[in-house]
Amino acid sequence: MTNSHYIAGRWVEGQGNDCISVNDPALGQPFAEFMAASVAQVDQAVAAARSALPAWKSTSASERAAFLRGFAEQLGQRREALIALQMRNNGKPRHEAEIDLDDAIATFGYYAELAEQLPAKHRDVPLAAPGFTARTRLEPVGVVGLIVPWNFPLVTSAWKLAPALAAGCTVVLKPSEVTPLIEQAYGQIADALGLPAGVLNIVNGKAETGAALSNHNGLDKLSFTGSNSVGSQVMRSASAQCRPVTLELGGKSAIVVFDDCDVDQAVEWIVAGISWNAGQMCSATSRLLVQNGIADTLLPRLQAALENLRVGNPLTEEVDMGPLTSQAQWLKVAGYFATAREEGLQCLAGGKALDRDGWFVSPTLYTDVPKHSRLWTEEIFGPVLCARRFASEEQAIAEANDSRFGLVATVCSADLARAERVADALEVGHVWINSVQAVFVETSWGGTKGSGIGRELGPWGLSAYQSVKHVTRCLG
């Protein structure tokens, strides 16, 4: 491949030091290669965004909304090609790839509506002191860098790109080197819509490219989704620049099942929370807390459900779960299987890599996992579920909150008053009650503790790309 970077409204060939190999994880084989962007090309992208900023932030809210609706429409027109690419490069089953695309489309449509409402947000502020008037303006924060991960490409970039453009910011987007191809659709759509050159720039690369962007002194803000280890580096670079950041990082989330819950429904919610995207989710509910009264009934049914999941190549089979997206992730998860054997954990299902081509592992369930186990405390990013029993509501809350992460949680109970009470007590950013992990663009996304800083989606996602200006005038 050539011309894989979109800078100042033009497609250009990479001039960096790294060759990016794009793989089909179901086969464990590459199907595309191209050169990464160089540090100089990152400079060019930031300069293009800076040059485009004055005109873009001066466009009317309705003009920006029209572009955002154009993105939504163009994504829909590319539906089959984008779904196929998600399946091939990520290993997602078709139904997951379809939901990803629908999520991205909905995000652009939602922020088009919020963009149209922006003029009403500029308002007069009453003052107690006489002789003065005051008003507020919401202005774009400026040039923003967006660094997105490989587990939900297209989606995570939409969550950042749509509100940034709605706010009037210009953008440099750096996709993951594991899944770089699908974000190129945004550059193609920008061309098709006539988006002004420099408003959107896309640079692909590995650590060198990411560091060049996150350290760049030409940015006004950086938004990053990914691992805690890289997120801490991003935060250090932001502190050196005194620059705002949004960080959406890891999770080790709990699903709490009380003994009044319908067993079959509980199994459905538990399986979805650990097997969706092969468990490669910061929001994966990988810690199962099950009340004593239901545990002996639920765990065997859960074991059977995990063992019956169809695991395979989504391009050639009808499957419930595909492969892990990269060989590095496959090796990481296999390492946790080895740790579980060393720790003597009781394995009810899975616990092994599958003996076939590609990067497949079995959906896995460990029971009675000690709280000091690495598998209980560390984010695995694979379909690995660890279970513990609890006696009381107070114990469930305490054990769910006993984590350095605080992204999401799920509560399963027929007693809705108790479910709401527990949801309020959990130290996380998002809680589901008696549900799979349904994420809506109108709600917020983000966590507490080590799970990050700031919020995406909803009006909070737009606010992340705005600054507040206050104008006070003396009446003389």
Render pLDDT for 22-62 as a digit per residue (tens, 0 to 9): 999 999 999 999 999 999 999 999 999 999 999 999 999 99
CA dist., res. 345 & res. 352, Å (int): 13
Same domain, 287 and 233: no
Q: From the candidates 169, 261, 282, 412, which is the catalytic residue?
A: 282
CA dist., res. 363 & res. 351, Å (int): 7
| Cα dihedral 88/89/94/98 (nearest 10) | -130
Whether 393 maps to a domain, the answer reads: yes
Same domain, 291 and 243: no
Same domain, 10 and 102: yes
Q: Does residue 121 carry a pLDDT above 80?
A: no
Same domain, 231 and 86: yes
Count of domains for the chain? 2
Q: Does residue 444 carry a pLDDT above 80?
A: yes
pLDDT band for 448, please (50, 70, 90 cuts).
very high
For the domain that residue 97 is a member of, what is the CATH number?
Answer: 3.40.605.10
Same domain, 312 and 387: yes
Q: What percent of the chain has pLDDT over 90?
A: 96
Q: What is the pLDDT of residues 454-463, one digit of tens each?
A: 999 999 999 9
Q: From the candidates 177, 248, 399, 456, which is the catalytic residue?
A: 248
For the domain that residue 293 is a member of, what is the CATH number?
Answer: 3.40.309.10
| pLDDT number for residue 179 | 97
Q: What is the pLDDT of residues 301-349, one digit of tens each?
A: 999 999 999 999 999 999 999 999 999 999 999 999 999 999 999 999 9
Whether 263 maps to a domain, the answer reads: yes
- What range defines the domain where residue 10 resides? 5-249+451-474
Predicted TM-score of the model (pTM): 0.96
Whether 21 maps to a domain, the answer reads: yes
Residue 201 forms beta bridges with which residues? Answer: 172
At residue 347, the 3 state secondary structure works out as strand
pLDDT band for 161, please (50, 70, 90 cuts).
very high
Q: Does residue 1 carry a pLDDT above 70?
A: no
Q: Does residue 149 carry a pLDDT above 80?
A: yes
Whether 366 maps to a domain, the answer reads: yes
Q: Tell me phi and psi for residue 337, to 5 degrees.
A: -60, -45
Q: What is the mean pLDDT of the chain?
A: 96
CB atoms near residue 475 (< 10 Å): 7
Same domain, 223 and 368: no
DSSP 37: P
410 within 8 A of 285, measured Cβ to Cβ: yes
Measured CA angle at 379 (ends 378, 384), to 5 deg: 100
Same domain, 325 and 417: yes
404 within 8 A of 342, measured Cβ to Cβ: no
Q: What is the pLDDT of residues 227-274, one digit of tens each?
A: 999 999 999 988 888 999 999 999 999 999 999 999 999 999 999 999
Whether 343 maps to a domain, the answer reads: yes
371 alpha carbon, distance to own chain's centre: 27
Q: Does residue 408 carry a pLDDT above 90?
A: yes
Q: Which tokens is 278 given? A: 């092969």
Residue 412 a catalytic site member: no
Residue 248 a catalytic site member: yes
Whether 446 maps to a domain, the answer reads: no
Helix axes 79-90, 61-77, angle to 10 degrees: 70
Same domain, 228 and 340: no
| Residues with Cβ within 8 Å of residue 102, at least 6 apart in sequence | none
Q: Does residue 3 carry a pLDDT above 90?
A: no
Q: Mean pLDDT over residues 143-167, rounded?
A: 98
Same domain, 273 and 398: yes
Q: Which helix (H) or strand (E) holds 373?
A: none
Whether 445 maps to a domain, the answer reads: no
Same domain, 170 and 269: no
Same domain, 30 and 178: yes
Whether 84 maps to a domain, the answer reads: yes
* Helices and strands in the chain, H and E counts: 16, 22
382 within 8 A of 336, measured Cβ to Cβ: yes
Same domain, 34 and 111: yes
336 within 8 A of 109, measured Cβ to Cβ: no
Going by their DSSP bridges, the two strands 170-174 and 143-147 should be labelled as parallel
| Cα dihedral 118/430/365/419 (nearest 10) | -140
CA dist., res. 335 & res. 54, Å (int): 50
